[in-house]
Structure 1
Amino acid sequence: MRLLLLNPNTTEALTRRLARSAAEVLPADVVLLPLTANRGFPYISSRAEAQIAGAAVLEMLAEQEGRFDAAVIAAFGDPGLSAARELFDLPVTGLCEAAMLAALALGQRFAFVTFSPRLTPWYEEQVTRAGLGSRFAGTFTPDAGFGSIAAVAEEMRVPLVKTCRRAAARADVLILGGAPIAGLASEITEEVPAVLLDPVKAAVLQAVSLHRLRPTGADRGSFARPPAKESSGLVPALACRIAGKDTSKPD
């Protein structure tokens, strides 16, 4: 199985961090294919940026079509997730949705812990979309700021641990949200009195499971493929996919 790990942020260091975390839990027969967006933002942190990143996600999926069996959109706000499921014939998962679904099986209430309050509105909208508000205990962030987006996990480890301890008073499962802190959950688990979830691990394992359950992904009901339609100004691969033309590329 070939699993595309698609980072909609343009920072290569985040892709490497995401890939390291994913590799810790992947079965031996899964080949991980990390990919970084070549346009957009170093790190997505608003609704507007997420909209732009969602379009880039669809472009990358179309350009890589035929080279992978399932995909993970590796940004915590899941930009482009529903659109990707509607358009492509394979399983696609997102970090936030996968982590929330995993949290439901591990505790009664879950919370997000992330590194910047700027992310809170966008992240919490994902809870509303999933209909999980009654199980959600809120989003918790440190008071401290960060310097390099590529070194957030190292720079903010101490304030993030303190934030997790504070959140643990409200929730029994804590989801560490944001690509810059991928992998941190397993490093600090003994320092926090709650279950810690790494969204990257949750999303890649869900993608593998969905591929084995239903290799074609979502393709019925609300995710039925839309009627073919011509377009203008799109990258060729995405224009062909929307027009219903075969864009698959052999290995």
Structure 2
Amino acid sequence: MRTLFLNPNSSAEITSTLRRHVERCGWPADRWEILKVDDAPRIIGSVSQNAEAEAAVERALPVLSRGFDRVVMMSSLDTGYHIARQRLGDEAYGFTRSVFSQHRRLGRQLQIITFDKSMTSLYESAIDATGHRMVVAGWTVVDLEPAAIAAQPSLALEKLRTVCRDLASTSIHPIFVVGAVGLALTEELRRVGMTGLVDPVSDLLAWLGSP
């Protein structure tokens, strides 16, 4: 089975980050690929940009998915998931919903962290659509837009470090920093010794099963 991990925005940097994390987990190189949607916004940071990205996915997916048996939409909002599902049925997956599914299967709840308060309603709708609200033990919003995180990653890292430290001292549940933007930040926090952070790409691959 060949798997396409599809970044529904056009950011080469985010695509590279996603690739590095899948490679780190050791999947055979000939069983997967990561692509981006070139006509989509570079960053999905608003309701309108999410809609633009979905429209771009709908146009691009028939070509991009050729030669693949399943597609995973690699977005915090699982942008384009329903479009992929129309085309691939049960072989369409979403990054965030797969992480929730894996932890629900393990009987765990999560403290989740999202970015950008203006996007919270979209996240709420996405989580409710998965049926996994019960997995969410608590929810913290770091109110930085994706563009601001990209421009000032050190500021975002410090804000995230403070939130994670506070959660670790008050909650027994592991912390899930949602989305591709959070991958690089949590990687840095783990590098300096912070514990209690889930590895969402590893969780995603565990949910998918064999490559």
Superposed pair shares fold, TM > 0.5:
yes
- For the aligned residues, what is the CA RMSD? 2.8
Runs of 4+ in structure 1 deviating by more than 4 angstroms, as ranges, are 143-149, 151-155
Kept in 2: contact 1:85–1:92 (CA 8 A): yes
Q: Which has the larger radius of gyration?
A: 1
CA pair 89-77 structure 1, distance change in 2 beyond 3 A: closer
Asked whether the equivalents of residues 57 and 73 of structure 1 are also in contact (C-alpha less than 8 Å), the reply is no
2:81–2:93 CA contact under 8 A, matched in 1: yes
Shift of 1:203: 2.9
Q: Show the 5 A alignment for 1:171-182.
A: 172-182=173-183
Q: Report the 3-state secondary structure (helix = DSSP H, G, I; strand = E; otherwise coil) of the residue aligned with 2:6.
A: strand
For the pair 1:157 / 2:157, whether they are aligned, the reply is yes
1:1-251 to structure 2, matched below 5 A, reads 1-28=1-28, 30-88=30-88, 91-106=91-106, 108-142=108-142, 149-150=149-150, 154-168=154-168, 169-170=170-171, 172-189=173-190, 190-192=193-195, 194=196, 196-207=197-208, 209=209
Whole-Å Cα distance in 2 between the matches of residues 59 and 53 of structure 1? 10
TM-score between both structures, scaled by the size of structure 2: 0.81
Letter in 1 for 2:124: E
Structure 2 stretches lacking a partner, 5+ long: none
Q: Is the 8 A contact 1:78 1:94 kept in 2?
A: yes
Residue-pair matches, total: 208
TM-score by length of 1: 0.70
Alpha-carbon offset, residue 116 of structure 1? 2.4
Deviation track 1:141-177 (CA, whole Å, cap 9, x = no partner) reads: 3366776554665542222121123334346022111
CA distance in 2: counterparts of 1:53 and 1:177, whole angstroms: 18
Identity, in percent, stands at: 25
Contact persistence 1:73–1:79 (CA under 8 A) = yes
Distance in 2 separating the partners of 1:47 and 1:145: 12
Q: Return closer, same or farther for 1:155/1:147 CA change in 2, 3 Å cut-off.
A: farther
